[in-house]
Structure 1
Amino acid sequence: MGLRLKFNLVLLVVFLAGFAVTGYVSRSLLDRHARAQVLGEARLVLEAALAIRSYTVERVRPHLIGQLDRQFLPQTVPAFAATETLNELRKKYPNYAYKEATLNPTNLRDRPADWEADLIHNFRNHATDTEVSGQRDTPVGPLLYIAHPIRIESPACLQCHSTPDAAPPSMLRIYGSANGFGWNLNEVVGAQVVSVPMSVPLENAAQAFRTFMISLAAVFVMVFVVLNLLLSWLIIQPVSRMSAAADKISTGDFDQPEFAETGSDEVAVLASSFNRMRRSLEKAMQMIDG
């Protein structure tokens, strides 16, 4: 097995090991970054919903609360305002979903799906949890969701959700008296759930990964070619010439020119040693012939 083949095999093994490790690490980092990006978008949507709820409670509801006895206005309900506003966002971004899923909702559109009900029960069973996130597979691709508990923290909420007798008659005329009641103070009744598609960030991460790995392979090919040229020029060719000269000298042919001894690397030292050996051998042969 020649020196060039041994060198190339070692270089190839090192590259393949480095290529595999680099590919695993870079793909993990890119996927983690894509997930963090989606979580950031989901939190932004959730913060927007919280801002809408706060605005409704502080700026809208006080001006309309006096009309509840005559006419129930859903716009005064923070959950309704946040849901309707973010539904407008879905007209342009249909895969971005916001829902205030409630186990016993006044508005039946807020009834939770099975996986949303599991989130609500998780919040009920783990009172210290303030956020849960995860990933779901859907027909449109993977979706990342983030959820916060809906907890009854204000006694004002119980005006509409304690018993039908305490609720505004105008609300009962719209929603009836069968749903949305029996809530208690500090009870978790639902969850704010934001779902954001992961398909685009994951595809961007995959594209970046492919570009990086192709670039890495191209760099290796260039390094491989350059190293082989340097190996041939600096080591293999000088050693081959010395080997050929040694074969001829071993048969008594001392007409071979001496090798250049310029430089201080190992090949130059070898050339100097070879020249001394050649001169010593030539003198010894002359003494024997004399």
Structure 2
Amino acid sequence: MKLLLKVNIVMIAVFLVGLAASYNVADRLLQQNARSEIQDNARIMMESALAVRRYTVSQIKPLLDTQIRYKFLPQTVPSYSATEYFNILRKSFPEYAYKEATLNPTNLRDRAVDWEVDVVNHFRENADAKELVGERESATGRTLYLARPLRILDEKCLECHSSVTAAPQTMLDLYGTANGFGWQLKDVIGAQVVSVPYDLPLKRANEILRNFVYLLVGVFVFLFLTVNIVLGAIVVRPVRKLAEIADQVSKGNMDAPEFPSGGSDEIGTLVASFNRMRRSLVEALNMLQQ
């Protein structure tokens, strides 16, 4: 097997091992970054919902409270405002979702579905739990959800939700008397749930990984060609020429031209040593012939 072929095999083997290791490390890091990005997006959405709720309580509700005697306005309800805000947002970003999933809601659109019930029960069974992050498969693909408990901490909420008799008549006219009652102070009645798709961050991560692999392959090809050219010029070609001259000398052809020596590297030293050995051999043969 020729020297250059051996070097090429070693280079390719080292590259493949390095590529596999780099791919695994880069893929793991990019996946972690994608998950962190998704969680950050979910938390931004959650904070946006909380901001809308606070704005509704501090700015909208005081202006419309007097209207409740004539007409119940759901716009004064923080959960309604936050949900409506995200419903508008979903027209541009349908993969993102926000829901105040409630076990016994006044507005039936907020009723928790099967997996949301499990989330709510998690908070009911774990009083110290402040947040829950998980994954699930949805109609739009793999989704990360972030949930926080909806706990009754303000007695004013019980003015509408403690019992049917305590609730405003205008609210009963709008939503009826079947749902949204029996709430108690400090009870977990539901969960704020934000759902964020994995597709876009993962697609971006895979694209970065693919470009990274292409870059590594490109760098390797460049180095591979460079090493082959350099080795061919300064190692393989001189050694091959030296081997041809040595072969002629070994067959008794003492008139074979000397290999031009030059340089102080290992190849130059080898050439100088070979030429010196050849001259010594010629002198020894001449002495024997005399």
Tell me which interval the TM-score lies in, with the shorter structure as reference length: over 0.9
Specify the alignment match of 1:274 in structure 2: 274
User: CA-to-partner distance for each residue in 1:104-141, whole Å, 9 max, x for gaps?
Assistant: 11111101111111111112222222222222222322
Specify the alignment match of 1:102 in structure 2: 102
Structure 2: tracts of 5 or more residues without a match:
none
Q: Is the 8 A contact 2:245 2:259 kept in 1?
A: no
Q: How many residues align?
A: 290
Distance, in Å, in 1 between the alignment partners of 2:224 and 2:204 is 30
Shift of 1:197: 2.1
Distance, in Å, in 1 between the alignment partners of 2:86 and 2:139 is 22
Distance, in Å, in 2 between the alignment partners of 1:161 and 1:261 is 100
The runs of at least 4 consecutive aligned structure 1 residues that moved more than 4 Å come to none
Shift of 1:100: 0.4
Specify the alignment match of 1:67 in structure 2: 67
Tell which deviates more after alignment, 8-17 or 183-192: 183-192
Specify the alignment match of 1:223 in structure 2: 223
Distance, in Å, in 2 between the alignment partners of 1:260 and 1:132 is 77
Specify the alignment match of 1:90 in structure 2: 90
Q: Is the 8 A contact 1:145 1:195 kept in 2?
A: yes
Distance, in Å, in 1 between the alignment partners of 2:178 and 2:191 is 21
Instruction: Say what the alpha-carbon RMSD is for the aligned residues.
Output: 1.7
Distance, in Å, in 2 between the alignment partners of 1:108 and 1:155 is 22
TM-score where L is the length of structure 1: 0.94
Q: Is the 8 A contact 2:23 2:213 kept in 1?
A: yes
Distance, in Å, in 1 between the alignment partners of 2:51 and 2:41 is 15
Q: Is the 8 A contact 1:42 1:146 kept in 2?
A: yes
Q: Is the 8 A contact 1:102 1:191 kept in 2?
A: yes
Letter of the 2:102 partner, please give it.
T
Shift of 1:221: 1.6
Specify the alignment match of 1:174 in structure 2: 174
Letter of the 1:118 partner, please give it.
D
Q: Is the 8 A contact 2:72 2:170 kept in 1?
A: yes
Structure 1: tracts of 5 or more residues without a match:
none
Specify the alignment match of 1:24 in structure 2: 24
TM-score where L is the length of structure 2: 0.94
Tell which deviates more after alignment, 237-246 or 196-205: 196-205
Q: 1:68 aligns to what SS in structure 2?
A: helix
User: CA-to-partner distance for each residue in 1:42-87, whole Å, 9 max, x for gaps?
Assistant: 2222111100000111111122223323322111110011111111
Does 2:178 align with 1:152? no
Which runs of structure 2 are paired with 1:14-53 in the superposition (5 Å)? 14-53=14-53
Does 2:96 align with 1:119? no
Distance, in Å, in 1 between the alignment partners of 2:186 and 2:135 is 28
Letter of the 1:203 partner, please give it.
K
Distance, in Å, in 2 between the alignment partners of 1:37 and 1:62 is 37
Q: 1:190 aligns to what SS in structure 2?
A: strand
Specify the alignment match of 1:238 in structure 2: 238
Distance, in Å, in 2 between the alignment partners of 1:7 and 1:74 is 76
Shift of 1:38: 2.3
Distance, in Å, in 2 between the alignment partners of 1:185 and 1:9 is 74
Q: Is the 8 A contact 1:260 1:268 kept in 2?
A: no
Shift of 1:31: 2.4
Shift of 1:231: 1.5
Shift of 1:15: 0.8
Distance, in Å, in 1 between the alignment partners of 2:93 and 2:250 is 84
Shift of 1:157: 1.3
